[in-house]
Chains A and B, each alone.
Chain A
């Protein structure tokens, strides 16, 4: 059975009293809910040959939201008590003085679940986790004499949420999440370079660590650092770019993902707001945002408003089909929520956000793409990215890349920022690979000061023209 969190167990307010306050506060509003959250999380960090940090966090609180037309009133607190909830209610009422809401769109029901109700923190003892971190350190340091620094960490979390809507409807979810990261620094002939790799998702530590799976994470971090030790300055200017499969899909996330979130399009501040139904990418480019893939970092059984998630087609064969919506923006744009309403935690309001954003496979091979490039770069691994959704300009930072000369992969090049224009860059995609791959499960997306776990995926792609921000003219 579900070991659901009882948020009212240690409180001076009963569930039915809380339900009454919710119904009373929201009676004339368009929408809103009481969102309760209890998160338990741990961090274990090995650094510089030692366990540097072992910490545990327990975070409890509620966020109370009332919406009337376009106006959102929000109040949150750590104290789940009669006094605190009443004060929040008064706060909301004072903002929405003369409300008359009519929106009564029911939350769709679904029995599907995309992860198990587990607490990953409790599934492995502290001693076992410390032992693996020490093994990681010893394994890497014995592999290469140039290793000067190893950092490895575990992050584990269980988040229990309950959403209480007007009339007493209750929706619940228990979300496990873990992450394992390794970073190494090499030093050779006075030069230092680093490499980072990690894995994670919504399942137990064991899934990622069994059969010494952790060794492949170490090997990958070391490989990236070793490649960078031999890298030369990156070129500067416009050129052809081949992106490898998987994590480089940060490109999709930045170039089109954020620009297709409902809020920016309702406000007409996104470079995409007037492009619905139009061609925004090359033929053969199909992009979806999917919250329903089992155990993935960006997956959710229900979003933070209680709506079951789905697979939303954003761009189909080059044509813009849908935006990602929460309930507020869906109502104002006269459409339905796509189950994309998310928040970092109870301290924050809901915004439309990405889940797992993916470009689907085409027919070409990576080899064909490399062969088609006279002068350009082949980018394999990335650090992160950012976008200005209004101008549409986006960047992403390579952490492993090579030059391509006359159809062949050449020397590794130093990390550089790539910059492009969202609405036009996907029209420059001239080949789509047959090798779609998910990222390893480490992405966190930031928007309006809120970080949420997300995933990305793509096949190899060839982009005809992007600006590479190196130093070699």
Chain B
């Protein structure tokens, strides 16, 4: 079972005490434990079971404006003694940085709200196996399916964050995740696709049969793809891809990229960077939210931010160090966003498909083609040609390219937002991008 609060707190306070004794003027520590159990199926048979029990500790010590840190998976006092001594020694030898400090005390979270992030239910391996049997049965209906690999993971985690300003808090979280990767084959091609569901509470997880069927359908419809010619065409991003564009936006407004000057969105606060109707929110207190939290990794309270209002950028994502450098207060975004999403647009998914006589619907991208310094974007893509609102045929071996500065100004969103991941977007259309194919 996952370690309790008392054990983690004891380790945390031991470390803070020892660091002080050895000469640290300030310090902070995170202790975490995560117990995870996975069962994998392949072609309707048990393929793998995996149990992991991970302990971790990371300590940062300060001497005035000097800072250094250590981390370890070995929580025995003997080992911690050696490491903390090493850390304080390294701190002494590291040059000063005027912006190094713990968070301002008045910004630290004062209360820990119960956001329903922990489900005590324990799913035995037999139950995981039952779920996967049902899933793979539903996924294997069609003769074109040649391989199915599915997985069920239960994860229970606990952590404590403590610092020498008196902050000491943490809480348990859980997740139940099911996924299925399908390979289908016909005379001309072999294709792969997947479906996935992850929830804090077991009872909220997608139905196994539905998930398997969805994964299989999505794979079969990709068979016998064509390559199209190069042209400028409206691109519709499936929700699972659209959320990636939102993640790139989040890295471009991180205070670290802004303070270093390495973002195409530097100095854009209060400027219009998206089309008029676009609103972006980061909401940390969604009940059972996959990205929900009470405070960030420094202990700073995390409030809801309306990052983009009617297309205008309102906030960066600020941590303590980069905030001090930019002369801004931390808004509790050390480690990034919580539940980040685009608000719904005004038209239905169907109307979005119908809005152009011809468009490209993208279901998968490959490659790391986002450059946040220049805003340039170029990735490999797979999807479907859409004509007059109908999916005509699958497409692959193409690339799509543009620059985020232009792309953001030409976004239209459907009204089909759902909270499937920590970062979510409705289906998204972007006009003016270039497809490279034949």
Chain A interface residues toward B at CB < 8 A = 10, 47-48, 50-61, 70-79, 84, 88, 91, 94-95, 126-127, 130, 148-149, 185, 187, 192-194, 234, 236-238, 267-269, 271, 347, 349, 383-388, 390-391, 393-397, 414-421, 467-473
Contact = CB atoms under 8 A, between A and B. Distances in A.
A383 B372 CA distance: 14
B373 interface: yes
A397 B378 CA distance: 8
A149 B261 contact: yes
User: B-side binding surface: helix, strand, loop or mixed?
Assistant: strand
A94 B79 CA distance: 33
29 contacts: A58-B74, A58-B83, A71-B49, A72-B49, A77-B53, A79-B53, A95-B125, A193-B373, A237-B230, A237-B437, A237-B438, A267-B147, A269-B147, A347-B54, A386-B367, A390-B191, A391-B189, A393-B380, A396-B367, A397-B369, A415-B369, A416-B399, A416-B401, A417-B369, A420-B397, A467-B436, A469-B399, A470-B378, A470-B434
A55 B54 contact: no
B51 A75 contact: yes
B55 A469 contact: no
Contacts of A60: 72-74, 79
A394 to B, nearest CB: 8
Interface in B331-378: 364, 366-369, 371, 373-374, 376, 378
Interface of B: 42, 45-55, 67-76, 78-79, 83, 86-87, 90, 93-95, 97, 125, 146-147, 149, 183, 189-192, 225, 230-232, 259-262, 264, 364, 366-369, 371, 373-374, 376, 378-380, 382, 396-403, 434-438
A57 B69 CA distance: 9
A193 B232 CA distance: 25
Given A54-B69, A391-B396, A419-B397, 8 more contacts: A71-B47, A74-B49, A185-B373, A194-B262, A237-B437, A238-B437, A469-B369, A469-B400
Contact of A388 (B51, B69, B366): B366
Given A58-B83, A391-B191, A419-B380, A72 B51 contact: no
Contacts of B49: 71-74, 91, 95
A470 B373 CA distance: 17
User: A-side binding surface: helix, strand, loop or mixed?
Assistant: strand
B230 A236 contact: yes
A415 to B, nearest CB: 6
A78 B50 contact: no
Nearest to B219: A390
Contacts of A414: 374, 376
B190 A50 contact: no
B230 A395 contact: no
A471 B436 CA distance: 8
Contacts of A234: 378, 401
B48 A393 contact: no
A395 B366 contact: yes
Contact of B70 (A58, A192, A467, A473): A58
A387 B367 CA distance: 8
A71 B45 CA distance: 9
Nearest to B369: A417
Given A56-B83, A237-B436, A469 B190 contact: no
A235 B192 CA distance: 29
A91 B36 CA distance: 13
A284 to B, nearest CB: 25
A53 B91 CA distance: 10
B190 A391 contact: yes
Nearest to A187: B261
Given A10-B78, A194-B262, A52 B97 contact: yes
B133 to A, nearest CB: 15
A126 B262 CA distance: 28
Given A149-B260, A269-B183, A473-B230, A55 B69 contact: yes
B71 A57 contact: yes
A47 B260 contact: yes
B53 A421 contact: no
B260 A48 contact: yes
Contacts of A193: 373-374
A415 B261 CA distance: 20
A390 B183 contact: yes
B90 A56 contact: yes
A256 B47 CA distance: 26
Contacts of A61: 73
Contact of B76 (A10, A192, A385, A418): A10
B230 A88 contact: no
Given A78-B73, A415-B376, A471 B434 contact: yes
Contacts of B261: 148-149, 185, 187, 192
Contacts of B90: 54, 56, 126
Contacts of A397: 367-369, 378
A417 B97 contact: no
B381 to A, nearest CB: 8
Contact of A471 (B54, B149, B402): B402
A268 B51 contact: no
A194 B375 CA distance: 12
B260 A469 contact: no
A59 B397 contact: no
A51 B97 contact: yes
A203 B74 CA distance: 27
A262 B38 CA distance: 23
A182 B131 CA distance: 49
B192 A391 contact: yes
Greatest chain B CB density within 10 A among A54, A55, A238, A469 is at A469
A390 B192 contact: yes
A70 B48 CA distance: 8
A386 B230 contact: no
B378 A415 contact: yes
A51 B90 CA distance: 12
B366 A55 contact: no
Nearest to B94: A54
Greatest chain A CB density within 10 A among B79, B94, B125, B437 is at B94
Nearest to A420: B397
A55 B198 CA distance: 33
Contacts of B262: 149, 185, 192, 194
B378 A192 contact: no
A271 B190 CA distance: 7
B231 to A, nearest CB: 7
Contacts of A75: 50-52
B365 to A, nearest CB: 9
B181 to A, nearest CB: 9
A385 B367 contact: yes
B349 to A, nearest CB: 26
Contact of A417 (B231, B401, B402): B401
Contact of A469 (B125, B259, B401, B438): B401
A338 to B, nearest CB: 22
Given A56-B87, A57-B72, A421-B397, A395 B380 contact: yes
The list of the 8 closest CB pairs from A to B, nearest first, reads: A469-B399, A236-B436, A395-B380, A395-B367, A390-B192, A95-B49, A237-B230, A78-B73
Contacts of B67: 54
Nearest to B48: A72
A385 B192 CA distance: 18
A6 to B, nearest CB: 14
A47 B55 CA distance: 30
Given A55-B71, A71-B48, A74-B48, A417 B397 contact: no
Contacts of B93: 126-127, 130
